[in-house]
């Protein structure tokens, strides 16, 4: 079996409220978990304010560097929701009302007896040629332009949209991981572990300090897309801990 | 009194474990809160893996664009802790053991009856000319090179180091904020609020959807460095809500 190189991804979170500390981001961790499970390598995350030049610069840097770019935030009905315009500017495409998005929102507000205000119509605006991403929670859709996928920032809407999107992305093999607890601190296991990590291809070995009950221990995490390599590395790490302890 | 322009800041979180989803970042929110209180404008956050080229590219982009850059992670004793080397590479400076850091760690490990291993010595490495940032929790220091400040990634150590660092940063005036609850959804208040926001200089007006008990309401947050402008904008927003409701 040929092992294809996994697709790479970046996330761009858009919003003054995250940078001011007012809102604590809950999407990055969920996105990272989702990419891991899909076998896609998340390589970079950026957070930028609701300012068009900052969004355009980040989108253009990320979409050229990575296979997949997912944005969160800035697609609601208010004046500070400028993501659609910024994505249009990044791609040099006009932005206008998407007929299918208009139809969905018209039906939704009519069904609830609410007026389809000018502010709500803002949520139907996409760059030309965009395809919609379904929003099973509050109807107003996200959209994709080439490899850039624009999702809402409200966590339960972000998660629902991402669930719809992820099935359409170019997936690799899932990454498997094993966690090995080590009773030694990083200062004791670090040297020998570095040597072991250098000797093993196809696995990534990370170590994470833990502090509890007045002493440091280490959690060693081994990751691979190949179960045999993972088994072998896990056995080697356990043997190493036995030797050093 | 002349109002100086506030300093700008960026944060760079370094670590495979955040991008893989294994660790959920807890430093970005704390950093954003700390900058807000200090009156410093946090303008961008990036997360990159433990890979030297990615760190160098990000550090060099951010340190030219913003007044202050703070990094988290990658300064522990293991082979995947490469931040000191990457910062050295970004500035074109040699990296070696910092004598004061060596003295502090030697004393610390001697006092605890622990060997000062080669792995632990890694934590004394800084680029030439770096100044140390005290670590009151676990001694191994962070460091500053020009406007780049390198802190640990473990949240309680990050917070302690940031507390020491922030007093030395070029502070502006604190940003004040007022939160006004609005019983209408964003779709109803969005249009009139946008008009009001355009008319007011020196204040930033954001709106955040809230969903509870089956309906959407909106929280409107007004921010300014000037209390009079803040008072005036708050009164205007409250009057607007009264008109539209």
Which of these, A7, A4, A5, lies nearest to A149 by C-alpha position?
A7
Question: Is residue B35 within 8 Å of residue B9, measured between CB atoms?
Answer: yes
For residue A204, name the pLDDT band (cuts at 50, 70, 90).
confident
Q: Quote the CA–CA distance of A150 and A141 in Å, as a whole number.
A: 9
Q: What is the per-residue pLDDT for B3? A: 47
Smallest Cβ–Cβ distance between B78 and the set A29, A45, A207 belongs to A207
Tokens of B179: 């939160």
Across chain B, mean pLDDT equals 91
For residue B145, name the pLDDT band (cuts at 50, 70, 90).
very high
What residues in B contact A48, CB-CB < 8 Å?
43-44
For residue B91, name the pLDDT band (cuts at 50, 70, 90).
very high
Indicate yes or no: CB of B45 within 8 angstroms of CB of A47: yes
Beta bridge partners of B131: B144
Q: B44 in helix, strand or coil?
A: strand
Give the chain A residue whose CA is nearest to the CA of B30: A21
Which of these, B142, B147, B96, lies nearest to B122 by C-alpha position?
B96
Indicate yes or no: CB of A54 within 8 angstroms of CB of B44: yes
Q: What CATH code would you report for B8-166?
A: 3.40.980.10
For residue A1, name the pLDDT band (cuts at 50, 70, 90).
very low
pLDDT (mean) for A19-28 = 92
Sign of the C-alpha dihedral computed for residues A139, A143, A149 and A152 taken in this order: negative
Q: What is the per-residue pLDDT for A208? A: 79
- Does A97 score more than 70 pLDDT? yes
Question: Is residue B241 within 8 Å of residue B184, measured between CB atoms?
Answer: yes
Phi, psi of B211 (to 5 degrees): -125, 115
- Does B240 score more than 80 pLDDT? yes
pLDDT (mean) for B223-245 = 91
Indicate yes or no: CB of B79 within 8 angstroms of CB of A194: yes
Q: Quote the CA–CA distance of A126 and A96 in Å, as a whole number.
A: 6
More confident position, B128 or B37: B128
Question: Is residue A21 within 8 Å of residue B41, measured between CB atoms?
Answer: no
Across chain A, mean pLDDT equals 91
Q: What is the per-residue pLDDT for B149? A: 98
Smallest Cβ–Cβ distance between A120 and the set B76, B115, B187 belongs to B187
Q: How far apart are the first and last CA of chain A?
A: 40
More confident position, A179 or B48: B48
Indicate yes or no: CB of B206 within 8 angstroms of CB of A21: no
**Residue of B190, B193, B215, B221 for testing the chain A interface, max A β-carbons within 10 Å:** B190
Smallest Cβ–Cβ distance between B79 and the set A33, A45, A190 belongs to A190
Query: What are B69-85's pLDDT values in tens digits?
Result: 999 999 999 888 999 99
Q: What CATH code would you report for A176-244?
A: 3.30.70.2860
Smallest Cβ–Cβ distance between B48 and the set A44, A76, A204 belongs to A44
Indicate yes or no: CB of B190 within 8 angstroms of CB of A79: yes
Q: What is the per-residue pLDDT for A172? A: 60
Question: Is residue A164 within 8 Å of residue A136, measured between CB atoms?
Answer: yes
Q: What is the per-residue pLDDT for B2? A: 41
Q: Quote the CA–CA distance of B92 and B119 in Å, as a whole number.
A: 24
Sign of the C-alpha dihedral computed for residues B150, B153, B155 and B156 taken in this order: negative
Domain extents for chain A? 8-166, 176-244
- Does A213 score more than 90 pLDDT? no
**Residue of B42, B79, B108 for testing the chain A interface, max A β-carbons within 10 Å:** B79
Range from A124-133, A155-164, B213-222 that averages highest in pLDDT: A124-133
What residues in A contact B113, CB-CB < 8 Å?
none
């Amino acid at each position: 079996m040929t092992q294809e190189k996994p697709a790479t991804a970046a996330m761009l979170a858009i919003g003054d409220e995250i940078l001011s500390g007012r809102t604590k981001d809950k999407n990055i961790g969920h996105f990272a978990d989702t990419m891991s499970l899909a076998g896609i390598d998340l390589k970079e995350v950026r957070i930028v304010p609701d300012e068009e030049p900052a969004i355009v610069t980040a989108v253009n840097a990320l979409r050229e560097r990575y296979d997949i770019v997912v944005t969160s935030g800035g697609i609601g009905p208010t004046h500070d929701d400028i993501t659609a315009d910024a994505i249009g500017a990044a791609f040099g495409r006009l932005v206008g009302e998407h007929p299918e998005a208009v139809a969905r929102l018209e039906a939704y507000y009519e069904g609830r007896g609410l007026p389809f205000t000018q502010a709500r119509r803002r949520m139907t605006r996409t760059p030309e040629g965009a395809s919609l991403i379904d929003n099973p929670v509050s109807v107003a859709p996200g959209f994709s332009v080439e490899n850039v996928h624009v999702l809402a920032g409200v966590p339960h809407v972000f998660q629902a949209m991402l669930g719809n999107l992820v099935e359409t992305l170019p997936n690799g093999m899932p990454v498997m991981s094993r966690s090995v607890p080590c009773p030694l601190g990083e200062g004791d296991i670090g040297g020998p572990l570095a040597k072991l990590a250098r000797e093993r291809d196809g696995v990534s070995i990370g170590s994470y300090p833990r502090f509890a009950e007045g002493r440091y221990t280490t959690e060693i995490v081994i990751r691979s897309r190949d179960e045999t390599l993972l088994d072998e590395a896990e056995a080697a790490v356990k043997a190493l801990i036995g030797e050093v302890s």
